Amino acid sequence: MKTRASDQTFGALLISPAGAFVFCIAIYPIARVLWLSFFAQNLATSLQPKFVKIDNYIRLANDGHFFATLRTTLFFTFVSVVIELVLGLAFALLLNQRFRGRAIARAAMLVTWALPTAVLAWAWSWIFNDQFGVMNDLLHRVGILARPIAWLGSGSTALFAVIFADVWKTAPFVMIILLAGLQNVSGELHEAAAIDGANSWKRFRFVTLPLLMPSIMVALLFRAIQSFGIFDLIFVMTGGGPGGATETLAIYTYNTYLRYLDFGYGSAMIVTSFLLMALCATLLYWPLSRTRGAQFATE
């Protein structure tokens, strides 16, 4: 008994540095933000926090700007994730085939994902520049554009420009997840389906796609959460402009918290955004768990 107790004490001592680290960088900041969301503290007017109960959340419920950024965030998330899923699946199916130089092609596809987002965002801001950008020059050379377009200077095009840049960077991430899933699809199943007379589309529809569904749901879960919290790409490319056309929840929260120093209201925005993100993750995880349960049942 003494030996077991001493082993438990020794184990607790070993994990205590990691526990303290997690507490300092995760648990305490979350608890601090939750606590501060029930206070009014704006450094522009008062240094002392004032307990206001749920007034910050009531203010948030009546904030039209918040709901406008929420709509922008949801639109950005939906469009970018759908396009990334389609492109990632297409690239995964292509790179799953045997051909000369396949390893080089796989490595080249991951370059965009490995590069820092801020660097890529700065590059894309120059690509979409109306005077010196490559995009306008290429479209003009092929006869699509008669004159340059201010891609990032118009509300009707800026959001699609940042979606294009996000898809270019993160589609390889979806591809690598789906490619790993394709490695688990047995070739014998395709051979059996081909013997039964199934063509390529039917083999993909009834063999590959059902077995690939868990990987698809994982990719959707990761990318939906990342897209919902998008900040760095849009902040560097447009800063949320023009006229708030590309302003997401993360950028609105950043401006409220660190630009206008409204810590109480900004904390309420952070808590609400976290709950919305958790709800989004739950809605995606539920079909994922059902898919895995059905797969294990068949096995």
Residue 15 pLDDT: 83
Per-residue model confidence (pLDDT) at position 201: 79
Residue 122: per-residue pLDDT:
93
Cβ within 8 Å of residue 198, ≥6 positions away: 206, 207
| pLDDT at residue 126, rounded to an integer | 92
Q: Are 33 and 271 in contact (CB under 8 A)?
A: yes
Question: What length does the chain have?
Answer: 299
pLDDT score at 64: 93
**Which pLDDT belongs to residue 209?**
83
Give this prediction's pTM: 0.86
pLDDT at 297: 46
The arrangement of secondary structure in 54-298, i.e. its CATH architecture, is Orthogonal Bundle (1.10)
Tell me if 226 sits within 8 A of 167, measured CB to CB: no
What's the token pair of residue 98? 């045997």
- Residue 8 tokens, joined: 């438990």
Separation of alpha carbons 247 and 126, rounded Å? 20
Residue written as tokens 């596809």?
109
Question: How is residue 112 written in tokens?
Answer: 């965009």
- Residue 32 neighbours by CB distance under 10 Å: 11
Domain ranges in the chain? 54-298
Among candidates 245, 217, 251, which has minimal Cα distance to 233? 251
Q: What is the pLDDT of residue 87?
A: 94
Give the Cα separation of 265 and 36 in Å (integer).
9
- What pLDDT was estimated at residue 10? 74
H or E, element range at 166: helix 155-182
- Give, for all 299 residues of the chain, the pLDDT tens digit: 456 667 777 777 888 888 888 778 878 888 888 998 998 888 766 677 888 889 999 999 999 999 999 999 999 999 999 999 999 999 998 888 888 888 888 888 888 888 889 899 999 999 998 888 889 888 888 888 888 888 998 888 999 999 999 999 999 999 999 998 888 877 777 677 777 777 777 777 877 788 888 888 889 988 998 999 899 999 999 999 888 899 999 999 999 988 888 889 999 999 999 898 888 888 877 766 665 555 544 44
pLDDT at 292: 54
The pLDDT assigned to 99 comes to 81
